Structure 1
Amino acid sequence: MKTTPTPTVAVPSPRPAEPHARTCQIAVVGTGGIATVHAGDIDRLGDRARIVAAVDTDPDRLTEFCARWSIPRQYTKLEAMLDAERPDLVDLATPPGLHTAQAIACLARDLTVWCEKPPVLSLAELDQIAAAEAGSGGSFATVFQHRFGSGAQRLRALVAAADPRLGAPMTAVCHTLWYRPDEYFHVPWRGSFEVEGGGPTMGHGIHQIDLVLSILGDWREVVAVADRRARPTRTEDVSAALVTLDSGAVVTVLNSLLSPRETSYLRFDFAHATVELEHLYGYRDEDWRVTPAPGHADPVTEAWADGPTGQPSGHHAQLSVVVSALAAGQPPPVTLPDTRVTMELVAAIYASAFTGAPVRRGQIDETSSFYYRMDGNGAPWEA
């Protein structure tokens, strides 16, 4: 019989839950840099949501975080929080290597989880979470906030409707060209497949990869390369891939931590228009540019004028939708099946890069070493 752990930090008794439809009660696990971003965006939701508890193994950082965001209860162990609280949402803002066990623990309590990227270290771990979700009253969602800006919503709707004003998708570009100095990898959990899950393909470019797939649809095959060229890391610091989608469109994907002029650049070429997005860590409507093909200016301009405007991408945009879904009794986006499409492509990029062979969707299963680790049996440079 499992014993009930006690908090290692003295905390007051939980308050009675407020009406769910009025205020979404959130517990934040991890109080580092990304948790601070989440807390700020939760605060912007006003009385729609509030943080009622926080968890961190570092008592000093935890106390500082709770004081900054007026969080009433704090715990240094996740199990202690789970024993004492019944939040509407558990926000996992911890290092990637902790996500799977923490998510399963929350789902075992019928709690809903919103998890930072990368949500897991492997497809095997993602399937473990899916099995836990299947037996839970809660659900699991991944932080992929770039899906929720109005520009992406607008383009996604046009593609989903096969709008003839844009025409069929032909090709796309997905570049995450960032810069991280050697000092970036001094953080203990960075720079290894065992703890971080991968390099820029997994931890950085995954945002742009997910956004492209959410707009253009499922992928079919990938051919890729990856290398460790400069950084003191066991993972790659650059990768490139050629991805064929189910539609037949071809996407070039480049992920780098070696690019002094940082940019996140997406380009979608349709039969009648090019749609471009350039930003760094979040975009606004004005970061999108549409170029009609000759003779198509009026219908393309009309098509792009349809749909939502004014919503920047970011955690606040996704959180707003998450809170609305919970209030309606619905699983919040991005669901596990949505996440798996992206994670499977990331795994396939590593598999293709490390084996030198094309990889088709569905090929990485329990018989493949890349199902259990993104580096399979090990990166080539580790040999």
Structure 2
Amino acid sequence: MRHAAIIGTGAIAAAHAEALRAAGERVELVAVVDVDAGRATAFAQEWGVPRTHPTPAALLDAEDLDLVHICTPPRSHLPLALECLAADVNVLVEKPPALSLSEIDTLIAAERGSAGRLATVFQHRFGPAAIRLRRLVSEGVLGRSFVAKCDTLWYRGDAYFDVPWRGTWESEGGGPTMGHGIHQFDLILSILGPWQEIRAVAVRQARNVQTEDVSLALVTFADGTVASVINSLLSPRETSQLRFDFERATVEVEHLYGYTDAHWTVTPAPGHDEVVAAWRGDQPLVVSGHRCQVAALLDALDNGETPPVTLADTRNTMEFVAALYASAFTGAAVKAGEIGPDSPFYATMEGIGAPWADPR
């Protein structure tokens, strides 16, 4: 049985604990850490965790661990991940795994010198429907990809940003592009492959924050697909929507925070009814949550493979974020590979600075 620990026992930690519990005898959650000792104790009691530790260093010193789940606010992800990799422990880190491309490259360098590996929580990649869609695309069943859209239209009121680390570049790294829509466009990137160019806008329309509350990007992919990507925290009717228009079918999903097969529809092009039969799956009730990704991670560890989502995968998605901000703040199209160490958007997503009023 593998041993896991959780650092940070806030709201998202419960999803990780539930996923570990669902894995049964494959893994045991043996310890937790939190800066609030009382919260750590309460979490441990709720989830039947035998031990708490006051610091990550104490955790890594005392426990024989296969896996650490990092569930803290974004600014702390990099130093905690580096600490775990230095101890040769595998890491599963919540999104965003770092605040910039520079920090991602720091993690890549650290991973090279470690026996541990780092995976990012992008759980929507692991629902049965997404796995099936990637397979059908790779097999050519759907034909060429032409058009796609990716909408994360959510609502977060002013009270949401009362938490001190929310809505700032320094602590969160960005707005809904970085912290909310990233799940959806990571999924679309995993399906359509390399992106080529982004033209974007980002605005702060209503919330009293440093970051944007809405962004929109027009994206060209290497295979010629054109796509729109919208990330909003100002949308009272909340929804998460993806649409793919292929040569032989339109494939769509609408959900909020997690999908099952029931959320997906397939509309065949005239004369291509065979696509509907190819789509049918055998796991209709499985939700695209942390449980699916943790199971895939454990499978990889058991097989001696690198756990998904790798740092190379993550870097592609984070480069997309950096390019979106760079295009929005400079007014220019940004191509894949353009943002290197000499770019202001390499060290921080804010880059040259947002074009709106001074931060709060």
Normalised-by-shorter TM-score class? over 0.9
Matched position secondary structure for 2:356 = helix
Q: Does 1:139 align with 2:139?
A: no
CA pair 233-84 structure 1, distance change in 2 beyond 3 A: same
Q: 1:228 is matched by which residue type in structure 2?
A: R
Instruction: Specify the code of the residue in structure 2 equivalent to 1:132.
Output: A
Indicate which of 94, 113, 118 corresponds to 1:116. 94
Match of 1:275 among 251, 254, 261: 251
- Structure 2 residues without counterparts, runs of 5 or longer: none
- The one-letter code sitting in structure 2 at the alignment partner of 1:371 is Y
Taking only aligned residues, the RMSD between alpha carbons, in angstroms, comes to: 1.1
Pick one of 254, 266, 286 that aligns with 2:262: 286
Q: Which residue does 2:290 correspond to in 1? A: 315
Q: How big is the shift at 1:340? A: 0.8
1:215 corresponds to which residue? 191
Per-residue CA deviations over 1:275-316 (Å, capped at 9, x if unaligned) read: 00000000000100001112222x212221368655320000
Matched, 1:340 2:331: no
Q: What is aligned with 1:96?
A: 74
2:78 partner letter = T
| Counterpart selection for 2:131 from 121, 146, 153 | 153
- Cα distance in 2, alignment partners of residues 358 and 30 from structure 1: 38
User: 1:328 is aligned with what amino acid?
Assistant: N
Partner of 2:224: 248
Q: After TM superposition, give the deviation of residue 24 of structure 1 in Å.
A: 2.0
Deviates more, 1:44-53 or 1:252-261: 44-53
1:197 paired residue among 169, 173, 188:
173
Rg comparison, structure with higher value = 1
- After superposition, the Cα gap between the structure-2 partners of 1:227 and 1:87, relative to the gap in structure 1 and judged at 3 Å, is same
For structure 1, which runs of at least 5 residues remain unmatched after alignment?
1-22
Q: In 2, distance between residues paired with 1:114 and 1:220?
A: 28
Are the counterparts in 1 of residues 217 and 229 from structure 2 also a CA contact under 8 Å? yes
Shift of 1:226: 0.3
Cα distance, 1:382 vs. partner?
Answer: 4.3
Work out the number of aligned pairs and report it. 358
Could you tell me which of 262, 268, 271 is aligned with 2:238?
Answer: 262
The whole-number CA distance in structure 2 between the counterparts of 1:24 and 1:279 is 33
Is the counterpart of residue 381 in structure 1 residue 332 in structure 2? no
CA distance in structure 1 between the aligned counterparts of 2:295 and 2:237, rounded to whole angstroms: 32
Work out whether residues 147 and 214 of structure 1, in 8 Å CA contact, stay in contact via their aligned partners in 2.
yes
3-state SS, counterpart of residue 329 of structure 1: coil
Aligned with residue 64 of structure 1, among 42, 58, 61:
42
Aligned to 2:324: 349
Task: Give deviations 1:22-58, integer Å, cap 9, x for gaps.
Answer: x221010000000012112211121122210101010
Compute the TM-score of the two structures, normalised by the length of structure 1: 0.92
Partner of residue 3, structure 1: none
| Structure 1, 207-216 or 303-312: larger mean CA deviation | 303-312
Identity %: 57
Using the TM superposition, give the Cα deviation of residue 184 of structure 1 relative to its aligned residue in structure 2, in angstroms: 0.2
Partners of 1:265 and 1:137 lie apart in 2 by 38
Q: Partner of 1:8 in structure 2?
A: none
Amino acid at match of 1:288: W
Determine whether 1:73 maps to 2:51. yes
Distance in 1 of aligned mates of 2:313 and 2:175: 22
